[in-house]
Each structure stands twice: as C-alpha cells, then as structure tokens.
Amino acid sequence: MTNFEWMRQRILHRVIHGAVGDKTEGAEDLRATEWSPEFERLMRNRLLMGRFRYGRLDRTTDTGYDRAGSAIKRLRHYQSTGNMEHLVDAANLCLVEFKHSTHPDKHFDAVDDGEHTERTK
C-alpha cells in the first residue's frame, strides 16, 4: 500500500467513524472554512519585510540560520506572552525551513504516529 493509499484509508476511517465534527461537509465548504485569511495576510506581510533583512525566498544559497530552533523559541515566547506575532513568525520560519531545509536527513513521509493535539477541556 502506498503512503497516499494508507493516508486516504486513515482519513476516511476517521471521517466515517470519528466522534468530533460534522462529517457531511463537502470539499468546497472545507476549503472555505479550514484556513485563516488574516493569518495568511500577516504571514505574507512579514515575509515581504523579511526579504529586506534575509534576502529573497527563492534564493539558492543557504544563509546559515537555525530556523527550526528559532521557530521553537518563538512558540515558547507565544506561550509565555500570548503575543500572536510569535505564531506568525514561527509559521514563516517553518515555511522557509521547508523550502530551504538544512537538516541532513530531510524528507517528507506522511505518517500517523498517533500523536495528536491534546484537548484541554
């Protein structure tokens, strides 16, 4: 079974048998609701300003930044301060790391490791 087939099977199982959420929404409804245009706008604005500090996103050379570590640091700042600017910065750092990963074992292999967001209530 390919990764795609496995993921599709898992998603369908969750949609049909899962307890949370409305299972009758169509793809267009999901595309309209499962995103934040405001978050995207803030990300893009900061990426545009970041171009002057860090260079173009489409550059082909590594600039030697610890983007993953910086993203984790920003998430910790968000947890301690509540300032959502840190969320936007962390997301942008993740995007740039995805595009220009320096990890020696970088790869993309969609897996369901069983770790999901924990409910707080």
pLDDT tens string, the chain, 121 residues long: the values are 787 777 777 777 766 665 556 566 777 887 888 899 999 999 999 999 999 988 888 887 776 889 999 999 999 999 999 999 999 999 999 999 999 988 899 999 887 766 777 777 7
Residue 78 domain-assigned (yes or no): yes
pLDDT at 21: 60
Range of the domain at 97: 36-103
pTM (2 d.p.): 0.74
Whether residue 119 lies inside any domain: the answer is no
- Cα first-last separation, the chain: 37
Residue 27: inside a domain, yes or no? no
Question: Is residue 63 one of the residues assigned to a domain?
Answer: yes
- Half-sphere exposure (CA, 13 Å, Cβ side) for 50? 15
pLDDT for 64: 83
In a domain, 87, yes or no: yes
Q: What's the pLDDT at 20?
A: 57
pLDDT at 10: 75
Q: What is the pLDDT of residue 11?
A: 75
5 assigned to some structural domain: no
Structural domain count, the chain: 1
The answer to whether residue 69 is domain-embedded is yes
40 found inside a domain: yes
User: Which amino acid is residue 39, in one-letter code?
Assistant: F
